[in-house]
Amino acid sequence: MAELSVASGAADTVRKPPLVVRFAGDSGDGIQLAGLEFAKSTADAKSDFMTFPDYPAEIRAPAGTLFGVSAYQIQFDSDEVLTPGDEADVLVAFNPAALKTNLHTLKPGGVLIVDETHFDARGLKKAKVEANPLEDGSLDGYQLITAGVVKRTIEALAPLELGRKQATRAKNFWVLGLVYWLFGRPLDTTEDWLKTKFRKTPEVANANILALKAGHAYAETVELSAVRDFAEPRIAKHKNKSRIISGTQAMAYGIAAVSALGKRDIVYCSYPITPASILLHALARFEAGIRTFQAEDEIAAVSAALGASYAGSLGITASSGPGLSLKTEAIGLGVSVELPLIIIDVQRGGPSTGMPTKPEQSDLSMAIHGRHGEAPLPVLAPATPDECFWIMLEAARTAIGAMTPVIVLSDAYLANAASDWELPDIDAIPDIDWPEYKPNGAEFQPFARDPNTLARPWVAPGTPGHAHRIGGIEKSSGTGHISYDPDNHEEMTRLRAEKIDRLTARWPEVKIEDGPEDGDLLVIGWGSTYGAIAQAVKELNADGKRVTHVHLRHLNPLPRGLSELLDRFLQAVTVELNTGQLCSILRSEFLKPVECISQVNGQPFHVSKLRDEFTKRLEAPGA
């Protein structure tokens, strides 16, 4: 707690450091719910924040087991927050398994809130713990609060005469009340939410509210004053209305925006897979604009989406790694027949089933190269949860403008991480132009091209006088008739590639996020590593170092200016949650030395690790 005590005791001019709170317990303990309520309360306190749910693949693993532990982490600050934080200042552990698997995330001296109810022989055995950590002195380095959560929740709810089991369910709100007190937070946001959520079962709302208040009162009664030194930072971050948004929800709104700005229905086809299915759930709730179709498998999902695009709608499909593997043949067909299509890949740990709930960036090579034949297509990647909104607009403009399938690479972190999002000014976003084919008197040629974009005309069935046939067999340039002519195949192959390459002219030039225009170290990131890289670079540059950060949203083709930028730095390094896929691409594309800072442990980068890695390279180039 040393770091915090200094800050809280110092003059107002000393900025208080950001704070990190982590809740951990059984997946049935209501951890994610408590975490989300804490995030809403943080938004009400006008702090900036970023959250990350870290949950197991098992739905309801046996209670108390190590593999059933679910966690939720939030970092908040008066300044901009870019990551959910490396280490926690406050850790809540609901049982021995949660303590064992999460203690390493707590800072030395941090506040540790433990429910000792399950620290009996049975609970310890389930967590495979020999000695009781509450008794063996192993927690001496932390500010331990053993709150007896279950016991006190039951006591607090005694007037309601609920059964023991039902009363125990409110324990997450008891703890939340305690944590709110630590940060001087009011209870009304959560109270209001409970009343609305359980308006049909007011007894459930009452029980949870009673528990919330009891936890809050408990913290006030016992001596937690030292901990209460946390002061809530208060800033007004946004001018306009804002809301808490996860990458998934942002993506859903982005798809709705494509429908609104393009004034066309979207057909969204997918097959359930973790962690992409939550996008299907989000879209299925919309009553207009987006037709959602749960297909029989991944192949049917992409095929139906392509069929929808053929028929004049925009087909979108989403999946995760294994699903993208299954979809590749149909994506290749999309490249060949040159129809718009959006494929969202919410990347997860691989290969095969891998680690379905953990983030990884290991599908980049597959997205760019993973089809048979010469089948280039654009690949985009959002960097933050709120960019998931904008990337869908970019993907739609690209798919329709160039008549091509587009892959969007998200990941398990972006899909679930949430932050405060300033609502966009919808009126300021240009329309999405849906190309209308205008007959020019000459005979219709389905594979004649726009001279600028090289896109072919999109004429859907039902258009009078233009019936034509398309297919995966090579087509004669122009007429689209079946052709096995060698020169034609060469021409068509090069045209399809040129069409994708020309996208760079429409896309923005590579942009420096932070740092000098030239210098010692260029850090190149893509996707969800944005926050950790930006934070590390910001801290080093504030410290007088010279590190430059660029973050690629366009991975194929690569943006203009990147090659020249590489020339202006002594060293260039990619930061990736894989073994160096972007690094390999940059090396082969530009024939320049690029190194990689790589991590494949299913977790987002820690800012501290990146800071150390960058520092090491600054001190010893080429290390």
One-letter amino acid at 376 equals P
**Contact call for residue 231 and other proteins (CB under 8 A):** no
| Burial profile 41-56: b = 16 or more Cβ within 10 angstroms, e = fewer | bbbebbbbbbbbbbbb
**Contact call for residue 313 and other proteins (CB under 8 A):** yes
Report which of 276, 280, 304 is spatially closest to residue 290, judged by C-alpha positions: 280
Radius of gyration of the chain (CA): 27
Give yes or no for a contact between 20 and 39, defined as CB atoms under 8 angstroms apart: no
What are residue 174's phi and psi, to 5 degrees?
-60, -50
Instruction: Find the binder of other proteins among 177, 315, 515, 604 (CB under 8 A).
Output: 315
Instruction: Find the binder of other proteins among 131, 160, 222, 311 (CB under 8 A).
Output: 311
Nearest distance from C-beta of residue 330 to other proteins, angstroms: 6
- Mask: binding to other proteins, 473-502, rule CB under 8 A, as x and -? x-------xx--------------------
* Cα–Cα distance for residue pair 75/52, rounded to 1 Å: 9
Kindly give the pairing relationship between strand 341-347 and strand 405-411.
parallel
Instruction: Find the binder of other proteins among 206, 259, 347, 410 (CB under 8 A).
Output: 259
CA distances from 119 to 90, 105, 127, 144, 201 (A): 20, 20, 10, 14, 33
**Contact call for residue 324 and other proteins (CB under 8 A):** no
Report which of 570, 563, 573, 566 is spatially closest to residue 537, judged by C-alpha positions: 573
* Cα–Cα distance for residue pair 336/473, rounded to 1 Å: 8
**Contact call for residue 316 and other proteins (CB under 8 A):** no
**Contact call for residue 436 and other proteins (CB under 8 A):** no
Q: 152: which 2 tokens? A: 């006190």
Give yes or no for a contact between 435 and 376, defined as CB atoms under 8 angstroms apart: no
**Contact call for residue 519 and other proteins (CB under 8 A):** no
**Contact call for residue 187 and other proteins (CB under 8 A):** no
**Contact call for residue 448 and other proteins (CB under 8 A):** no
**Contact call for residue 430 and other proteins (CB under 8 A):** no
* Angle, CA 19 vertex, CA 14 and CA 25 arms, to 5°: 165
**Contact call for residue 262 and other proteins (CB under 8 A):** yes
**Contact call for residue 471 and other proteins (CB under 8 A):** yes
- Mask: binding to other proteins, 137-176, rule CB under 8 A, as x and -? ----------------------------------------
Residue 62 vs 461, nearer CB to other proteins = 461
Instruction: Find the binder of other proteins among 9, 430, 462, 622 (CB under 8 A).
Output: 462
Instruction: Find the binder of other proteins among 3, 44, 155, 297 (CB under 8 A).
Output: 297
**Contact call for residue 337 and other proteins (CB under 8 A):** yes
Nearest distance from C-beta of residue 312 to other proteins, angstroms: 6
Nearest distance from C-beta of residue 24 to other proteins, angstroms: 33
Nearest distance from C-beta of residue 357 to other proteins, angstroms: 26
**Contact call for residue 83 and other proteins (CB under 8 A):** no
One-letter amino acid at 28 equals G
**Contact call for residue 318 and other proteins (CB under 8 A):** no
Nearest distance from C-beta of residue 301 to other proteins, angstroms: 8
Nearest distance from C-beta of residue 296 to other proteins, angstroms: 4
With residue 475 as reference, give the H or E element that holds it: none
Give yes or no for a contact between 364 and 582, defined as CB atoms under 8 angstroms apart: yes
Beta bridge partners of 596: 574
Beta bridge partners of 155: none
Report which of 282, 281, 329 is spatially closest to residue 306, judged by C-alpha positions: 329
Report which of 320, 330, 342, 335 is spatially closest to residue 255, judged by C-alpha positions: 342
Helix (H, G, I), strand (E, B) or coil at 49: strand
* Cα–Cα distance for residue pair 254/326, rounded to 1 Å: 25
One-letter amino acid at 594 equals V
Residue 301 vs 503, nearer CB to other proteins = 301
Nearest distance from C-beta of residue 244 to other proteins, angstroms: 13
Q: Which of residues 387-426 bind other proteins (CB under 8 A)?
A: 423-424, 426
Residue 99 vs 266, nearer CB to other proteins = 266
**Contact call for residue 524 and other proteins (CB under 8 A):** no
**Contact call for residue 460 and other proteins (CB under 8 A):** yes
**Contact call for residue 286 and other proteins (CB under 8 A):** yes
Helices assigned H by DSSP within 317-406: 321-337, 364-369, 387-402
Using the contact rule CB under 8 A, the part of the chain among 23-31, 259-267, 485-493, 557-565 near other proteins is: 259-267
DSSP 508: P
Residue 161 vs 443, nearer CB to other proteins = 443
Residue 1 vs 269, nearer CB to other proteins = 269
Other Cβ atoms within 10 Å of 584 Cβ, number: 16
Interface with other proteins (CB under 8 A): 243, 253, 256-257, 259-267, 269, 283-293, 295-297, 299-301, 303-313, 315, 329-330, 333, 337, 423-424, 426-427, 460-473, 481-482
